[in-house]
Structure 1
Amino acid sequence: MMKEIVLFFAVLVAIVIGQANQPLNVVPYPQQVEMGSCNIPVTSILITSNIESTTFSVSMERYTNLFFPFNNVSNSEENDSSSITLEVTIYSDDETLQFGIDESYNLVIQEESYQIKTATIYGAMRALETFKQLITYNQLDNSYSIQCVSISDYPRYPWRGFMVDTARHFIPKNMILHMIDSLGFSKFNVLHWHIVDAVSFPVESTTYPNLTKGAFSPSAVFSHSDIEEVVAYAKTYGIRVIPEFDIPGHAAAWGIGYPELVATCPDYAANVNNIPLDISNPNTFTFLQNFFSEISPLFFDNYFHTGGDELVTGCWTEDPTILNWMTKMGFSTTDAFQYFENNLDNIMKSINRTKITWNDPIDYGVQLNPETLVQVWSSGSDLQGILNSGYKALVSFAWYLDKQVPDGKIHYEWQDTWQDFYAADPTVNITSNSNNILGGEATMWAEQINQVNWDVRVWPRAIGIAERLWSSQSINTVSLALPRIGQFTCDLSRRGIQSGPLFPDYCPMQDDLVFTMKPNIKLSNSEIKLILNK
């Protein structure tokens, strides 16, 4: 009881202080805020845009449906003085979505003028999310209003990713679309799709159809059309989808349909994660070339993740064929790993993709192509060395959502690990070359995760990561963030995301709210084609 009383007063104090220091209940917190003095009642909102765009039309429809969560409030009175028009001005109709796209926006709300101005549709999407969060609901008189404000906003980092693992547990397509909803609401802009690993190969291939013998079940497979729908749907949130096919380690699932691809090492085979590709076989590289040439066009992003982590080179040296090849070539295991990565670079070049790897090859002594983007899962000290070597890097080691103790700190309540994620700045203890950090990614490895518990394990803990990657470095006080994140997690739950509370409060919801693992908008086949081809 005493703990609850202390927590209640701590939250109350944080709310009072926060209203002075961070007056908007917006997550992630904007870069520049100038408060107005008016509070405008609103019953209906019409969004207009100066450009024609199927992609942005989906976003406008989405937020129009989200603005008023309580359907007992009228929002359709055409001549009501509290009906407003939100005018969106986008200065370019180019819908190209690649790394570094401009996501900045200006949002001005004042009496009789509601304006969003932005360079791209993706900045407009971020502005719509901010606008949505500015709408407040008053339970006492059953009304909505919006605060007058001027906001100039942009992300701190251009790469704000989330890794989803669909290999250790198959996650149905509709659940992935639902995940994209939650990531888009929090202004993440990359879905890192860890799609294949040692335990399963859930991706259809027309070139090598036996690969899906490595799936958990014939029904646990992503078709090409499934992938296209995921990529198109993500684009309506300004989210890039980057696949990861983890090689040369963690390759056992490749070998179920094509056993000639993988090494043979009985002493290591008890752990399926120990089985790597057989890189002594030239046909392995032909296979990878053909397969990646088939798969890469489904993902329009310039980046392609090839894993590279946790390679067990002892399996190579136990396989007589591979060991004889290494001896003939005069290769150590590091040389063999280098040989693989060099060949993989040639494949990536042929499909016009930039390679991403985990930091393991560098730890093993491999010299990667200087253009390689390195995702660091191990430690800040490894990150510093990688930055000093001239590589561009992504930070992940501080944001493993599958961990109970992500940063060595133990909390009485597990959800409070959000504070550790929030406090983990990418540049902490980095003394040089921090400009080589492109951003970071949260990771949710799926050994104990599937569509049943994904939401409640990720949210609201990941909200802290979203703000750390978007907001100014100076926005870093847990006590000030807590009331804002508390309100946002309530808002997410009203949108159908099972994001729970962080402190005692009341989150009003519709009585008939049902959590469904489905996207909030269903794209038609024609919309998918238009979005992907724009």
Structure 2
Amino acid sequence: MNSLDLVPVPREVLRRAGTFALKHSTRIAADGPAADTALLLQELLRPGTGIPLPVVPAAARAEGDIVLILTPDDAGEPEAYTLDITPERVEIRAPSTAGLGWGVQTLRQLLPAESFRSTPVAPPPLTLACVRVEDAPRFPWRGLMLDVARHFMPKDFVLRLIDLAALHRLNVFHLHLTDDQGWRLEVPSWPGLTSAGAWRRETPLGPVDAPTGHDGTPHGGFYTLAELREMAAYAARRHITLVPEFGFPGHTQAALGAYPELGQAGPVEVRTRWGHSPHVLAPNPEALRFISDVLDVVVDTFPSPYVHIGGDECRRDEWRTSGYAKARAAELGLASVDALQSWFLRYGIDRLSAAGRRAVGWDQVLEDGGVPESTVVMAWRDFAADTASEALAAGHDVIQCPTRTTYLDHAQSELTSEPPSFYGVATFDDVAAYDPDPGPDSAPDSGPNPASDSDGGAVERRGRILGTQGHLWTEYMRNPRDVEYMAFPRLAAIAEAAWSGRDRRLSSPLAGRMGGYLERLDAIGINYRPWDGPHPWQRSR
């Protein structure tokens, strides 16, 4: 295999003569925390290779072994790693267990694609080309978001997608758990959220803005707290942070369907149309108690240092026509009812800060009073304004999420045979050309540096661009196979934008490395989109 079939492309790859043979006598040598990564490598390689790969102490290493070594004194780039393959042994060195984990994922990609199957189809030995890989990520936030609120996805598929994120050296898995169309998070003190809010009566058919009808079939589901803890632990073992999202004060109609006292419109049902609901939280004590209780459960369930609080697409119509909301805004000293959004968000952010967690929000959190500077902003509205520059200038750290290139719910081509999707087209080439930070000074840990605003002028950055992520909004993804079709192969381009430096991407274009990549997807059994368009069975949903 050509070593440059690696995805994302590493910083430096040096080809050498010779091969390393992975055979029944091969062991994995590691000590201390590195032994945990060694056990993960053993778990990943055993099914498809049939090789037992026992883990032994580093002192017992011998010729023919795979050796994992922690080098904590090399602290400059914590997720960096070096992978050295010679005819005598394989050695992975890194300053952290995360770096070792990324070296493991690169090692997997250098094996024959058949090693990704669920059972051996070729007898050992398996050969690895001798190479030296020196690598480190460009950005510290490299993510994938899965929306399980619009269409619920089974736990086993979420775990599979976490595995695939790790293979792409992504380190954040953002789980969108609540929305107008469904609630997926168990909250013991609010049982109606899952007995009622987790289920909608039916699902719309046709375009998002002009539905042609409904399917007449109830849809729903939720995750128990035990399942969510399992997901978080599964991700952490693969050096991925599972970031939960509970959005408010808008996108809450599923909660209002279970507890109408949280809103102002009286009884409503879990939303059966796409788009965002006009029904939002009322600024009353019950709504604040609801936010507190849900955030307490989220903090107790997920060890993530980040919690996403939404904050997007909150319609103010109900507040503007409500005497109670107007009186409450005046009582709070707010300039208008519109500022209730910021008031709600600051309440939640303060709650998270007291628990030692950092809030993340969509870029509308900047509106009507804004949020504390510590809040990370996901800048997605590339069609509205240069929100990233606005957030950076205000001192916020930013995750770049432009809809044109990171929203993987958009169609993959203009072909009429593409299955139903949300607005817009984002081809593989579009995503592969995307740069999260095209400015001249884009090191993620650099100090203040200029960014361009929407008029082409320079603004001063006080915040940092932390990275980017891909988004799988599931209005038109009814099941795991639909999700896989929309995610792959475009997720390879997202991963490369997040991991690889610009010069390396230009010198080794991603399209030229897709041969080995697609062979791996075939071996895993991914329902990806072919280059020349969907298969007949992929066209209709």
Q: TM-score, normalised by structure 2?
A: 0.78
| CA displacement at 1:46 relative to structure 2 | 2.6
| CA displacement at 1:185 relative to structure 2 | 0.9
Question: Which position in structure 2 is the counterpart of 1:236?
Answer: 237
- 2:87 pairs, out of 90, 111, 133, with 111
SS in 1 for 2:183: coil
Q: Which amino acid aligns with 2:407?
A: Y
Q: Which runs of 5+ in 2 are unaligned?
A: 54-61, 115-120, 200-217, 419-424, 440-450, 453-459, 534-541
| CA displacement at 1:193 relative to structure 2 | 0.5
Question: Which position in structure 1 is the counterpart of 2:466?
Answer: 438
Question: How does 1:233-382 map onto structure 2 within 5 Å?
Answer: 233-264=234-265, 273-327=276-330, 329=333, 331-362=335-366, 364-379=367-382, 381-382=386-387
Q: Which amino acid aligns with 1:50?
A: D
CA distance in 2, matches of 1:278, 1:326: 14
The answer on whether the counterparts of 1:43 and 1:75 sit within 8 Å (CA) in structure 2 is no
The answer on whether the counterparts of 1:356 and 1:375 sit within 8 Å (CA) in structure 2 is yes
CA distance in 2, matches of 1:383, 1:239: 25
CA distance in 2, matches of 1:143, 1:262: 64
The answer on whether the counterparts of 1:254 and 1:262 sit within 8 Å (CA) in structure 2 is no
Aligned length, in residue pairs: 466
Question: How does 1:46-57 map onto structure 2 within 5 Å?
Answer: 46-51=27-32, 55-57=36-38
CA RMSD of aligned residues (A): 3.5
CA distance in 1, matches of 2:336, 2:497: 42
- 2:430 pairs, out of 417, 420, 436, with 420
Question: Which position in structure 2 is the counterpart of 1:458?
Answer: 487
Deviation larger for 211-220 or 340-349: 211-220
CA distance in 2, matches of 1:180, 1:441: 14
| CA displacement at 1:107 relative to structure 2 | 1.0
The answer on whether the counterparts of 1:199 and 1:253 sit within 8 Å (CA) in structure 2 is yes
Q: Cα deviation per residue 1:425-444 (whole Å; 9 max; x = unaligned)?
A: 01136446397100011101
SS in 1 for 2:406: coil
Tell me the percent identity. 25
The answer on whether the counterparts of 1:264 and 1:318 sit within 8 Å (CA) in structure 2 is no
CA distance in 1, matches of 2:86, 2:102: 19
Describe the shift of the 1:51–1:277 C-alpha distance in structure 2 as closer, same or farther (beyond 3 A): same
- 2:406 pairs, out of 392, 399, 405, with 399
CA distance in 2, matches of 1:456, 1:118: 34
The answer on whether the counterparts of 1:42 and 1:83 sit within 8 Å (CA) in structure 2 is no
Question: Which position in structure 2 is the counterpart of 1:89?
Answer: 69
SS in 2 for 1:263: coil
The answer on whether the counterparts of 2:377 and 2:397 sit within 8 Å (CA) in structure 1 is yes
SS in 2 for 1:301: coil
Question: Which position in structure 2 is the counterpart of 1:528?
Answer: none
Deviation larger for 448-457 or 164-173: 448-457
Describe the shift of the 1:110–1:399 C-alpha distance in structure 2 as closer, same or farther (beyond 3 A): same
Describe the shift of the 1:172–1:101 C-alpha distance in structure 2 as closer, same or farther (beyond 3 A): farther
The answer on whether the counterparts of 1:248 and 1:308 sit within 8 Å (CA) in structure 2 is yes
Q: TM-score, normalised by structure 1?
A: 0.79
Describe the shift of the 1:41–1:302 C-alpha distance in structure 2 as closer, same or farther (beyond 3 A): closer
The answer on whether the counterparts of 1:265 and 1:315 sit within 8 Å (CA) in structure 2 is no
SS in 1 for 2:182: coil
CA distance in 1, matches of 2:436, 2:266: 39
CA distance in 1, matches of 2:285, 2:507: 54
CA distance in 2, matches of 1:255, 1:454: 28
Question: Which position in structure 1 is the counterpart of 2:183?
Answer: 201
The answer on whether the counterparts of 1:137 and 1:145 sit within 8 Å (CA) in structure 2 is no
CA distance in 2, matches of 1:222, 1:87: 38
CA distance in 2, matches of 1:259, 1:234: 35
The answer on whether the counterparts of 2:82 and 2:132 sit within 8 Å (CA) in structure 1 is yes
SS in 1 for 2:480: coil
Question: Which position in structure 2 is the counterpart of 1:211?
Answer: 193
Deviation larger for 287-296 or 157-166: 287-296
The answer on whether the counterparts of 1:90 and 1:121 sit within 8 Å (CA) in structure 2 is yes
Deviation larger for 410-419 or 478-487: 410-419
CA distance in 1, matches of 2:463, 2:373: 16
Deviation larger for 191-200 or 378-387: 378-387
Q: Which runs of 5+ in 1 are unaligned?
A: 1-14, 77-81, 94-99, 505-534
Deviation larger for 242-251 or 474-483: 474-483
CA distance in 1, matches of 2:252, 2:521: 37
| CA displacement at 1:492 relative to structure 2 | 2.6
- 2:96 pairs, out of 114, 117, 120, with 120
CA distance in 2, matches of 1:218, 1:481: 38
CA distance in 1, matches of 2:18, 2:29: 23
The answer on whether the counterparts of 1:489 and 1:500 sit within 8 Å (CA) in structure 2 is no
Q: Which amino acid aligns with 1:246?
A: G
Q: Which amino acid aligns with 1:251?
A: T
The answer on whether the counterparts of 2:393 and 2:463 sit within 8 Å (CA) in structure 1 is no
Which structure is richer in relative contact order (CA contacts within 8 A, separation 6 or more)? 1
The answer on whether the counterparts of 1:265 and 1:319 sit within 8 Å (CA) in structure 2 is no
CA distance in 2, matches of 1:220, 1:312: 27
